[in-house]
């Protein structure tokens, strides 16, 4: 099915979802079906115990008569958009395979890419409209814009510290969102994060260096995602924070990004582009 607009002006397109049995994969399938989109396929890892399960049932919805495929080309089928919240190696392999499909846009929520892998994604964006975000929630993307603004206005004598808490199963650290916030703070200071990122404070010689941006990580229980950016001077402390209350927030954001991306030319975009917050 092609991306098209129906008589009510609602845009319709079909999606394939990578990692359909994962926490986010199930949310994405559920949110897509609830929005009336066509879910035409999904992928899972070759070692997944869910290869025999129905994609709709995995998401707690109706039977779709679709099982997860292990190769991205079969999973993509006739989809217009590929939505991928998996692991870096799986996402990169899928992007390469999508050249052989009719997918025109990819939404990447996977986190934990190395700089070399980020460059690979940028190359894939020569042929696809890619929206990549460490966090697809509207609130976090606004927090990112506010962080950039505060870092710019408050001079380097204000210490910037970023704290994040996630559930005990999270693999990468600091979270993609924490790094996104760190990049926004560094941008406000006119420098790359690689130059300002403080090493973890640990050991006898762990004093904070002026101007650095520090990260602190907690992993506990079922926390979906808490982020806090603090700006501290000798006399005051300004704290900006965000709490994700439901994992569905990321799925809804990813679907908004998908609806936007199917209408774009190939290129690498982020949630600020989707939300019109770029340059704020």
Of 56, 55, 97, 104, which Cα lies nearest the Cα of 78? 104
49 Cβ neighbours under 8 A, 6+ residues apart:
none
Tell me: does residue 19 bind ligand NAD (CB under 6 A). yes
**134 is known to lie in a ligand binding site:** yes
Rounded distance between C-alpha atoms, residue 203 and residue 113, angstroms: 28
In whole angstroms, the minimum distance from the beta carbon of 211 to ligand NAD comes to 28
Q: Which of 25, 56, 174, 182 binds ligand NAD (CB under 6 A)?
A: 25
Q: Which amino acids are annotated catalytic?
A: 166, 170
127 Cβ neighbours under 8 A, 6+ residues apart:
99, 266
Number of residues that bind ligand NAD (CB under 6 A): 25
Q: How far is CA 203 from CA 5, 199, 200, in A?
A: 59, 11, 9
Tell me: does residue 214 bind ligand NAD (CB under 6 A). no
What dihedral angle (degrees, nearest 10) is formed by the CA atoms of 89, 95, 100, 101? 120
Interacting positions 43-72 with ligand NAD (CB under 6 A): 43-45, 48
Nearer to ligand NAD, 150 or 178 (CB): 178
Q: Which of 37, 81, 83, 86 binds ligand NAD (CB under 6 A)?
A: 86
Interacting positions 102-141 with ligand NAD (CB under 6 A): 109-112, 133-136
Q: Which of 90, 105, 124, 129 binds ligand NAD (CB under 6 A)?
A: 90
Q: Which stretch binds ligand NAD (CB under 6 A): 32-40, 84-92, 117-125, 150-158?
A: 84-92
Interacting positions 221-260 with ligand NAD (CB under 6 A): 250
- Residues, the chain, total? 280
**67 is known to lie in a ligand binding site:** yes
Q: Which of 22, 30, 41, 56 binds ligand NAD (CB under 6 A)?
A: 22
Q: How far is CA 22 from CA 19, 45, 55, 79, 260, in A?
A: 5, 10, 11, 20, 24
**Could you count the other beta carbons within 10 Å of the beta carbon of residue 77?**
16
**CB-based contact 278:145 (threshold 8 Å):** no
Binding site as annotated, residues for (S)-2,3,4,5-tetrahydrodipicolinate: 167, 176-177
Residues of this chain that bind ligand NAD (CB under 6 A): 18-19, 21-25, 43-45, 48, 85-87, 90, 109-112, 133-136, 176, 250
């Amino acid at each position: 099915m092609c991306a098209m607009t129906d008589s009510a002006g609602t845009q319709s397109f079909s999606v394939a979802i990578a990692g359909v049995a994962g926490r986010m994969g199930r949310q994405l399938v559920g949110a897509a079906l609830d929005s009336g989109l066509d879910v035409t396929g999904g992928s899972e890892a070759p070692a997944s115990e869910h290869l025999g399960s129905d994609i709709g049932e995995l998401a707690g919805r109706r039977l779709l008569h679709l099982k997860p495929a292990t190769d991205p080309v079969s999973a993509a089928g006739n989809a217009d958009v590929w939505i991928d919240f998996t692991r870096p190696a799986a996402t990169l392999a899928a992007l390469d395979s999508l050249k052989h499909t009719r997918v025109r846009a990819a939404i990447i929520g996977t986190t934990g890419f190395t700089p070399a892998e980020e460059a690979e994604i940028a190359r894939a964006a020569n042929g696809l409209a890619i929206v990549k975000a460490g966090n697809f929630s509207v609130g976090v993307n606004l927090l990112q814009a506010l962080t950039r603004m505060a870092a710019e206005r408050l001079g380097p004598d204000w210490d910037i510290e970023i704290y994040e808490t996630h559930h005990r199963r999270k693999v990468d650290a600091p979270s993609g969102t924490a790094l996104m916030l760190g990049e926004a703070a560094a941008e406000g200071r006119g420098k790359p994060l690689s130059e300002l990122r403080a090493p973890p404070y640990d050991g006898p010689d762990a004093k904070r260096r002026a101007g650095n941006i520090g990260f602190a990580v907690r992993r506990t229980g079922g926390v979906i995602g808490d982020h806090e950016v603090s700006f501290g001077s000798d006399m005051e402390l300004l704290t900006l924070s965000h709490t994700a209350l439901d994992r569905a927030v990321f799925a809804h954001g990813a679907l908004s990004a998908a609806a936007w991306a199917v209408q774009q030319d190939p290129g690498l975009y982020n949630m600020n582009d989707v939300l019109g917050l770029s340059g704020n």
